[in-house]
Structure formats: structure tokens, C-alpha cells
A and B are shown apart, each in its own frame.
Chain A
Amino acid sequence: MEVTITINGEQVSRDVEPRQLLVHFIRETVGLTGTHWGCDTSNCGACVVLMDGLPIKSCTTLAAMCVGHEIRTVESLERSGNLDPVQLGFHEKHGLHCGFCTPGMLMTARALLDHTPNPTEQEIRTAISGQICRCTGYQNIVSAIRWAAEHEAATRQEA
């Protein structure tokens, strides 16, 4: 079937099988390999992308279900050479080791800050509770997201 999905602001049309999962559509059909695929049980969250601004697990959504919706992947965070504050936060606070969970963590963090600009540590921990990181022990990820929130608040004040 022919599907047209808006990915990172661009309309992408492809002929796919109805059974194709969004994560495979993004990675294999469109070729955006920033989004990761880490499990078959909808547990790991490496595949998280934004659908109409909300984080969803792209391994548990059919590409066909996304027709008419806006999908944002990790590739959309950097704009004209400038990293998004959440990316800077992960860099500053060492929020990753192997990086496998990072694209999902970044997208969940972005959505959290869009809806809750000044989250508490508990709110951050809850937001990422559907995502598994085997390396960092989470503390650095939480600090990275806090850093991004503070950085964004400072930038807003300057503007």
C-alpha cells in the first residue's frame, strides 16, 4: 500500500506492506538510521519517536497508522549545525556511554521539556521510565535533561 507520512517536516511517500512497523519504515525504507530498534517486546524504548509531539514506541505502531500524522525523529533535533539543548545536555553531562538508548532518550526528553519546561528529578525519572539504558545507571541522563531545562530557561531569559 502507498503511505505518505510527514517525517521531520517532509512528506515521504513509499509503497510498503501494511505489516511494516514504523521503526522499520523509518530505518530501512526511508534510511534514517538514527532511530534504534532494540527489542521485540515494546520494553526498551530505543525506538521512541514523536508522533504529533508525543513520544511513542515506533516498534509498536504500524507505518500505515501514521498516515496523516507528523513524525519527528532524532535527526530533526540538530538545526543548521546547532545541536538541540537536550543533545548539548547529554554532551555536557556525559548522558551516554554506548549510545544505543540515546535517540529514544533524547526524543522523550525533548517532548518532556516541550510540555514541562522545568521538570523535577522525579518527573524526569518517570518520563524515561519506559526506556532502558544498560550503561549509564540513568543518573547522568537525568542530569543531562536537567541541564537542558536550565539551559533553555536561561536562553529564554536572554531573548
Chain B
Amino acid sequence: MQTPAPFEYERASSVDGAIASLQEHGAEARLIAGGHSLLPMMKLRLATPAFLIDINDLDELSYIEEDTAEVRIGALTRHAELLESDLLAGHFPVFRDAEQVIADPVVRNRGTIGGSLCQADAAEDLSAVCAALKANVVIKGLDGERTVNMDGFYIGPFTTAVGADEILTEIRLPLRQGAGSAHEKVERRAGDFAIAAVSAAVWLQGGTIADAGIALGALGPTTIMATRAEELLRGKAPSEELFAQAGEIAKEDCSPLPDGRGPVDYKRHLASVLTARALRRATARALHQEAN
């Protein structure tokens, strides 16, 4: 029977309270949100925090809101809420694509977007989703708030820009014209992490791709931005040939590790195929003609 190693537990009643508590208990302290990444790691002693700060009572971190410039998501918003949100599916269909295949419905009742991003596991689907959408995240500490773009969020495997005494409070998704997005994932069985996953977003302007975002999940030590493939797409008219070329670049630029989910050549093959597929669906959606 696996139970986590002993720790002290406290429930935060405000964001500032959680930050003060992180500050007070130093490197030994960890926040717990849904607990669906942290508790499995604690059972395996891969994480042994001496102090846990439970942020589940912070209702002020649970929302999906829209203004003219962006959609804002509170860090404590759960997978199930992200899946059900028509607002999100309308602007960023990549979210519903991903949420349908993240874990299983029971896990989705607890896991949060903040926990997913902060876990910084390359196989977290939402990391790829937010990276492809070029999201900004709001990080709060004792000295106030700062905003970090997703391309600077992942510092290394299981390491993010969030400091030891800071908390991720919000994810901001910029609203831009001509947007389309999609998530493609291959998994061994229902509810499993990806063998490989790709999130893609395109922003079309007058028939050409003004900008693109491509993020590769489970295809390296962290979520990888396929920046060379994005560059290739910019300023070009979308076509099957172009998507295939972008896929070939993603295949070269990823760095998957062999594991129980598959060997390297298979994962590279998936990087190429899934990139092309995600781009195809994202573009079709941008053109308002959802194709599968």
C-alpha cells in the first residue's frame, strides 16, 4: 500500500495567504491543486514535500472569462469545466479536442489547468495547447504579479518560471482574427498519457497564414515549440504540401526518448503525421469548415 511520506497540511484561504505560507516554509513547501500529478508522485516518493498548501478553497481562481482582447482562465479551473466550456470551444477548439482525451472523466473532475502547466511534464496535453496558442500566464508572488509568455515558461523538465514562493493564478489567451486550432494525440488506450501529441494554431489573413503556433507534447524533455515549422508557414497560403513540410521539420526538431510507450523512430513518425493533421484541422476551422 503506497501512502505519501509524512507532511504537514494547511488550507489556504486566500492567494496572498498561500504565497505567505510558501515564503514561510521555503523549499519544503508545495501547493496542491487537484493532486492528480502530485499525489501519485508522492506515493512513489518522487516528491517528498514536508508541507502541503491546499489551494482548492480558492474559488477566486476558478473561472473562464472573456473580454475584447483575450480569454482568461483561472488556474484552479478543472479539466471537466474546460471540456464543457462553449466559450472556450468557440474561440479555441483545441481545448475541447485535448480535454476529450486528457486522462478519464473521473480524473478530469479534479485535475486543474494550473496543476497541468506547473507539473511541467512534457506529456501534459494542456502545456502543448497553451504553448500553441501563445498564451501568457500570470504568476503572483510577494512583490506582486508578472506575466510570462509560454515560450519562456518551461525552463527544463519538471521546472517552470514559477518561483518556489510564487503561484500561477491565470492563463491568458489572446483573441486574434482568423484563428483556428486543433490537438492531435495518439495514446495506447483510453485515459493514458500521449505517446505523442501535437497542438497547432493558425491565424489566417486574406488567405495566407499570418502566424502559426505548433507545440509538440511527449516528444522531448519539455514541451517543444516547433519554431522552424512555424516560420515556414508564416506568409504562405495553406496547402497539404506545406503541412507535410511542417511535419517533416517537426520530425527533425523533436527529441523523443524511447520508453514503454514507444521507440524513437515511431515517435518521430508521429510528430510528422500529427503536425500535418493538426495543421489541417486548425486551418479548416479557421476557414469555418471543420473537416475531419
Contacts and interface: CB of A to CB of B under 8 A. Distances in A.
A42 B54 contact: no
B191 to A, nearest CB: 5
Contacts, number: 85
15 contacts: A18-B9, A18-B52, A37-B1, A40-B43, A42-B107, A45-B106, A54-B80, A57-B36, A60-B36, A60-B40, A62-B52, A64-B11, A65-B56, A67-B11, A126-B105
B292 interface: no
Given A40-B2, A55-B105, A126-B105, A61 B110 contact: yes
B190 interface: yes
Contacts of B6: 17-19
B3 A19 contact: yes
A134 B104 CA distance: 18
Interface in B1-32: 1-9, 11, 32
B3 A130 contact: no
A11 interface: no
A48 B107 CA distance: 10
B105 A19 contact: no
A27 to B, nearest CB: 11
B107 A130 contact: yes
Interface string B263-275: 0000000000000
A126 B103 CA distance: 11
B110 A18 contact: no
Contact of B36 (A42, A55, A67, A68): A42
A48 B7 CA distance: 25
Interface string A34-47: 00010011110100
Contacts of B106: 45, 48, 55-57, 108, 130-131
Interface string A58-80: 00111011011000000000000
Contacts of B110: 56-57, 60-61
Interface string B40-82: 1001100000001010110000000000000000000000100
Nearest to B43: A40
A24 B9 contact: no
B9 A62 contact: yes
Given A54-B109, A56-B109, A64-B9, 4 more contacts: A21-B3, A43-B191, A129-B190, A130-B191
A20 interface: yes
A42 B42 CA distance: 12
Contacts of A131: 104, 106
B87 to A, nearest CB: 20
Nearest to A20: B3
A60 B54 CA distance: 14
A54 B111 CA distance: 13
Nearest to A108: B106
Nearest to B52: A18
Contact of B105 (A17, A20, A61, A130): A130
Interface residues of B, number: 31
A156 B250 CA distance: 55
A11 B5 CA distance: 27
Contacts of B56: 65
Nearest to A104: B106
Contacts of B139: none
A44 B2 CA distance: 15
Contact of A19 (B4, B54, B107, B190): B4
B92 to A, nearest CB: 22
Contacts of B104: 45, 129-131
A62 to B, nearest CB: 7
Contact of B3 (A24, A61, A67, A108): A24
B39 interface: yes
A159 interface: no
Contact of A60 (B8, B11, B35, B57): B35
Interface centre among B2, B80, B106 (most CB of A within 10 A): B106
A127 interface: yes
A51 B5 CA distance: 25
B260 to A, nearest CB: 13
A78 B54 CA distance: 34
